Structure 1
């Protein structure tokens, strides 16, 4: 028989020292246990431990599998194999020395019971600490001390059938009081043909969380050297979740959802369902923005006239795919301002996709207030209600109404799922009746199609026809305002036909992928049509990727068609994650300009926190040669960026910073990430430890870190990696689960022990202290167990003090070990294990 020395068992895993001491030894002689004929009454013989005083060891506690002392432990709770959260679980001891979890009210809330099938007076019998196996004879509870996990097995009769991925709303966490400031700063200057241009953009997402009430303000400040100094408030509001309705109420400035009518900015009240409160298996938008920049360019995105995003991009093709959703309808105007002063603009269709609902599912939105538009002379009331309901597996009905003092619109439609895809068709009846004797009435008909078949993903294809008298809500209000200012009805364009499509197709074999997006729109009171498109083809050959694309944009001279050929390949060793990428491209546009460029880009740093690119360019039409340099660096506290570009008669420079600052009861914590939902980790003494899956997120010197991008209303695993922290720190657990509200800052606390590790060869009256005896520190906290030969491992905080060894309830069954640590050099990164012999004396 081979025993694992207690010291080795303990030091092997500093997070589970208590469990490993006992588990390693018991497993080594478990096969020698004797059992009764029933197989239930098991006992362990202490003779296998080869101790002088066999009576000093009480192994009865472990006879039925108990390998942990009674007490309160933070544990993950699983019911029938499904995680329901992590809470503090109190373990108590039965008369037979087995351990059971207390069925407290908090723990019972974790279990998705079928309440109608529970025995009568079930909850009355729970009391302060009910034993589930006595309340339900078929129930099985098992506490896994290695994983700190409570497993509860219940007959399906007593457990509700919940959808995959569902989380009990009782487990949703509204978070802690906190003040939040997300920021995106961008400074830009350029000199072109002797003219200077300087500008500054500061976008903020500020918030204050108090209980379940979340206050939010989003805005941007724009400054340029020619005198513009303008702060623009995008929206300000307060919101609160209503879990029982799977909905959220909001008061203030926001945007309507846009899933039935187009998105409208409003000031007022809103009550709307949020499908993120449903599990993943019961749920479906901001579009991607693609474009091409010739130099280091400033890209600005507007919706409804408000700037919702701005950044600086390097020369070449760019992609913006991190917009905050602002509704399903309302086109985005994208402006690209080049370093040489030229501008181009294009519109990205932001239209609702066809969305069917499951049978019985309902989504609704109710809004009351006024339209928010700085360009209108008068206040305009806005009352809107929409609803969508799943009728059958293939049929969904939807409708809505908009009302104002001078306008109404009623919409009704259906969405149908077929073998050929999903179709929706709706009709809108609208009427404008203003006090300016302006009247207009008409209808609009919309047909949409959506399909995904194997390698084909057709996101949306839609056609809308509007009669000459039809106006949507915003067009109607702009028309009234134009007449009020002395204009005519025809001064505001009224849409007639509109086609839009977004599709991608993977071709057979290794022939690559084709994609297309575009829209065509004409008007009743304007000649010609607005057309825009993007079409492309991508493929690869070995490590070489290439693509062809064409697109139409608008600039001051009208439309411009641009054609692009790209080729990219990695450089260096294939087994290196740091090897740079070489990208080459050729462009040609309808004005006759042709250009070539080559870009070398890559990353550096232990966590790839540095990214860089260097670009060389050449173009005809007297443009000549130019170049650009760009770099981004993600620190633990903020993200930094810098760029430079220069060419014939021009040069530009830019600096940027982005991140989030959160103030809470423990201080102020910074991160380089921006997000709407955070976890605030508290792990005192664990400075330097990192969070798995989040590069650059580390515990700061105050013991805190911010984890971004949590999925609201879903269980998120947050794993703390002790690597990087001092060896003086011991963690009780490294994995936590949390299901936050949308917008919450949820506190996740990791218990840590700091101090000097000691290994004491403890004796009482000349013999080793009893094996398995519990060891307590000066504050009465359990810090370990006595191992073989009376070896006691503990981590002590004070330079001198006492440890209590307890192997029974009587005063004669406990003693104290006095210790005095040896001094260690202050410059040491960690404290070395100190080993010594000490007697254990009566208290």
Structure 2
């Protein structure tokens, strides 16, 4: 049975009051001793000062040791050299000399990652045999032990010679939490309306990210619904799969519809099975990507992101430059197709290419993936078989080797490559051989090679970061998997196979250059690609310069994309922003101004104000005006956002010459589990459900707007999987009749888990009673106080001060400092009517006589209850 932990406030009052009686303080407690009594290495209290009748004394020996604890079993967090290794029940055993020693079971020793070759033979035998409880001071005297009863935390200080070397940030897989059974529904709902030339068009879209967790199995479904009035409407399933972690191989198995990661080959959507590693299971210090999307909007615009023809993201952006950096991971290779739909119906389209950079890994580390199934792409009529395997391994500090294969009906590709770390930068080189069978070709098919080189270099002296993510040259007969499948699909349908473009050269460059002093920073990113069977060349780039002068930030950028007519078009943008007030004060509005020009001579100016409001910045707003030449004219836009405790609400409205548009949106997550339903305005893949009975209103630290609801529950998003995440509660704002026993916990969730954290609370009204005996003397110091049910609710401090937390508005408390009848008395109290919703900054104070009779006299001195 677990011992009941007394209130931390009660312990603080009691121990702080007793410190004035300490007659001597001697050297600290030995490292492996938790507590003792009557020894010179702690405090000594003379009980004769606290006698009641000259004969009976109070046993204060438990307070005479630094870090004193009552014998018993406690559920505690165990830390080894400040790193958490587990949470379990630990036994504290009283010794003949009244000291209390810490006793750990064999399973706990196994968690600690000890070097077995350095352990005593008897301890090693006990661990292997799981033979019950082992006293630390006897088994390993060199281990230091410290226990904090308030935090229920046991710290073990173990010499490094007794521990196996582990990487910084290592979290034992035994601490990974697979969570509780739960169902999740992440949603993003948007409605749009547009009126142009007297005609109104309405549309809506909704993205969902649903899941069910049962044990270690996580079921997931992602989909996107679009609706257009008098137009296309329908639902597109993006992914439907189930996954389960396999910690022993630092990976997971995935069954269903999803995508390959694209580390060596481009991302491929498939339906089948995949076994893949996850480097997040490695310590943070041993870990070896969705790209940012930047663009420019003239009005309140809708941005749609597609991959392989499927919508994976959609949002509304304000006029001016925008950046999207919260995409779910979509693999390491392949292109994203971005469409910006302006308020007047015009669109601009561009691609965001990205590829994995050099494949360097630490010596001995590796990445792997094995996939078997069939192609799952709605743009291709058939679903051919698909097989893929990849492997990367760090061979030395300098060399990493990698390779892989892809195979399907009448197609195969084999890749081999290496990455080198050189003083001139990191370089990778690989070659891929492919063969595609095409029935309409006389030779029966096409074969060829693709050569790719990557380069990356960071020069700290000049703040230069250059990445040529990929230069690829492909021979005429080479095709990657998706190109080959599209060509075979066109051939089977009788279409011209030359309508499928085959890449020849492709260069992708990303560079960032910090300039000396306060001269700002320059960046450029882009790619160029040409084709074997087409004369056109794709050239897309973005280049920019940014700096600041005091509180004024400014930037200039240029970009080149393909316009609605299929022609390449260059645009330029100058942007300036500054706070409208002191930057060190809260909720300061921001002034934004910009001028942009495109290759057709269209020039526009924009001016706007944006900011946040509310104690948690739960409100945000923006208002802007713009003017464009060439008949576009003037326009105005306004947008707002409210992050409530349960959902996120957005709205926008735009007005220009010949058009009006508006949009509304809702986003968030609904989580259901065995104890109820929790709503949160955030969307995430890994959550913690926080429970603190009765502590509604408590804020969850570092998560803006996350508070415990009426039932004392909250969903905490954005947990880092396989890492220790500390989740703290701020008791400010909770009902005054509730006290949090602990305010911080750590957890290392599996990816996709919904973990559950319970924070213990004590309920009742805090009172402070000046208690005296019938003869006017103070009630004995150190006496325990219990209610009519026998529950311990407090203790007696100096001068008879009784701090207690009681659950009833009236009751009789029993005060005991011994077992005989003359060592007990009763206190009766009556409180003013209490309100659970009220907040109190002070205790309710009384003076009362403690009598041996069934009733006592209560005299309120200074009642303060808020």
Please identify, of 789-798 and 420-429, the stretch whose mean Cα deviation from structure 2 is larger. 789-798
* CA deviation after TM superposition for structure 1 residue 384, in Å: 0.7
Deviation at 1:756, TM superposition (A): 1.4
| Residue 753 of structure 1: how far off its partner (Å) | 1.1
1:319 to 314, 319, 323: 323
Flag the 1:537–1:647 CA change in 2: closer, same or farther, 3 A: same
Structure 2: how far apart are the matches of 1:841 and 1:266? 80
Structure 1: where are the runs of 5+ without partners?
1-13
- 1:733 to 2:742 alignment: yes
Q: Secondary structure at the match of 1:103?
A: strand
Counterpart-to-counterpart distance in 2, 1:539 and 1:179: 46
Q: 1:799, CA displacement in angstroms? A: 3.7
The question of whether the paired residues in 2 share the 8 Å contact of 1:814 and 1:842 is answered with no
Of residues 587-596 and 113-122 in structure 1, the stretch that sits farther from structure 2 once superposed is 113-122
Structure 1-normalised TM-score? Answer: 0.94
1:378-389 equivalence runs, <5 A = 378-389=382-393
Partner of 1:444: 450
Looking at structure 2, the residues matched to 827 and 75 of structure 1 have their Cα atoms a distance apart, in angstroms, of: 31
Q: 2:183 touches 2:671 (CA, 8 Å); kept in 1?
A: yes
Contact 2:622 2:638 in 1 (8 A): yes
Within the candidate set 548, 554, 559, 2:562 is matched to 554
Structure 2 counterpart of 1:16: 8
Equivalent residue, structure 1, for 2:493: 485
Of residues 819, 828, 850 in structure 2, which corresponds to 1:839? 850
Q: 1:54 and 1:41, CA in 2 relative to 1: closer, same or farther beyond 3 A?
A: farther
Aligned mate of 1:497, from 505, 529, 535? 505
The superposition leaves residues 216-272 of structure 1 with CA deviations (integer Å, 9 ceiling, x where unpaired) of: 000011000023221010000111111111111111111101111111111111111
Asked if residue 476 in structure 1 is aligned to residue 484 in structure 2, the reply is yes
- The secondary structure found in structure 2 opposite 1:349 is strand
Question: 2 CA distance for matches of 1:221 and 1:519?
Answer: 32
Q: Contact conserved, 1:442 with 1:470, CA < 8 A, in 2?
A: yes
- Give the structure 2 partner of residue 390 of structure 1: 394
Does residue 530 in structure 1 map to residue 538 in structure 2? yes
Give the paired residue count.
829
Cross-structure match for 1:686: 695
- 1:361-380 matches, within 5 Å, as 361-380=365-384
Counterpart for residue 639 of structure 2: 630
Contact 1:357 1:396 in 2 (8 A): yes
Instruction: Give me the whole-angstrom Cα distance separating, in 1, the residues matched to 2:344 and 2:75.
Output: 60
Q: Which residue of 2 aligns with 1:331?
A: 335
Q: Distance in 2 between matches of 1:67 and 1:842?
A: 35
| 1:57-96 equivalent positions in 2, closer than 5 A | 57-96=58-97
For residue 112 of structure 1, report the CA deviation from its aligned partner.
2.4
Question: Hey, what does 1:111 align to over in structure 2?
Answer: 112
Counterpart of 2:103 in structure 1 is 102
Q: Give the conservation status (yes or no) of the 8 Å contact 2:701–2:728.
A: yes
Cα separation, 2, equivalents of 1:685 and 1:272: 43
Equivalent-residue separation in structure 1 for 2:254 and 2:524 (angstroms): 37
* CA deviation string 1:627-650 (max 9, x = no partner): 100111111111110001111001
1:292 pairs with one of 291, 296, 301: 296
Would the alpha carbon gap of residues 526 and 825 (structure 1) be closer, same or farther in structure 2, given more than 3 Å must change?
same
The answer (yes or no) to whether the contact 1:34–1:43 under 8 Å persists in 2 is no
- Alignment map for 1:357-436 (pairs within 5 Å): 357-433=361-437
Indicate conservation of the 8 Å contact 2:813/2:827, yes or no: yes
**Secondary structure of 2:723's partner?**
coil
In structure 2, distance between residues paired with 1:682 and 1:781: 23
- Between 829-838 and 499-508, report the one with greater CA deviation: 829-838
SS of alignment partner, residue 501 of structure 1: strand
Aligned to 1:138: 142
Quick check: 1:114–1:158 contact (8 Å CA) kept in 2? yes
1:790 aligns to 2:800 (yes or no) = yes
CA offsets per residue over residues 93-120 of structure 1, 9 Å max, x none?
A: 3333333333135643542222343333
Helix, strand or coil: the match of 1:379? Answer: coil
How far does the alpha carbon of each residue in 1:280-327 deviate from its partner, in whole angstroms, 9 at most, with x for none?
100141100000000110100001111100001111100100001011
1:224 pairs with 2:216: no
Deviating more after overlay: 535-544 vs 783-792: 783-792
**Bigger mean CA deviation after superposition, 447-456 or 89-98:** 89-98
Alignment partner, residue 162 of structure 1: 166
Q: 1:814 to 1:635 in 2, by over 3 A?
A: farther
- TM-score between the two structures when normalised by the length of structure 2: 0.91
For residue 56 of structure 1, give the secondary structure of its aligned residue in structure 2: coil
Q: In structure 1, what is the Cα distance between the partners aligned to 2:26 and 2:774?
A: 32
Q: 5 Å matches for 1:688-837? A: 688-762=697-771, 768-777=778-787, 782-801=792-811, 803=813, 805=815, 807=817, 815=824, 817=826, 819-824=828-833, 826=835, 829-830=838-839, 833-837=844-848
Unpaired runs of 5+ in structure 2?
A: 1-5, 28-36, 855-866
Question: Does the 8 Å contact 2:735/2:836 carry over to 1?
Answer: no
Residues in 2 aligned to 1:390 and 1:461: alpha-carbon distance in whole angstroms: 20
Q: Give the structure 2 partner of residue 244 of structure 1.
A: 248
CA distance in structure 1 between the aligned counterparts of 2:218 and 2:612, rounded to whole angstroms: 37
1:702-750 Cα distance to aligned partner (Å, 9 max, x none): 1101111111100011110011111211111111111111111111111
What is the CA-CA distance between 1:833 and the residue it aligns to?
A: 1.7
1:665 corresponds to 2:666: no
Contact 1:15 1:733 (C-alpha < 8 Å) held by counterparts: no
2:591 counterpart of 1:566: no
Cα separation, partners in 2 of 1:46 and 1:535, compared to 1, 3 Å: same
Choose from 17, 21, 26 the match for 1:25: 17
Q: 2:603 aligns with which of 590, 594, 609?
A: 594
CA distance in 1, matches of 2:77, 2:356: 40
Partner SS state of residue 632, structure 1: strand
More off after superposition, 302-311 vs 188-197: 188-197
Cα offsets for 1:43-63 (capped at 9, x unmatched): 432345586647422122233
Give the direction of change, closer, same or farther, for the CA distance of 1:308–1:583 in structure 2 (3 Å limit): same
- Displacement, 1:606? 0.7
SS at the partner of 1:510? coil
C-alpha separation in 1, matches of 2:602 and 2:781: 85
- Pairs within 5 Å for 1:178-197: 178-197=182-201
Contact persistence 2:737–2:836 (CA under 8 A): no
Q: Structure 2: how far apart are the matches of 1:699 and 1:524?
A: 61
C-alpha RMSD of the superposition: 2.5
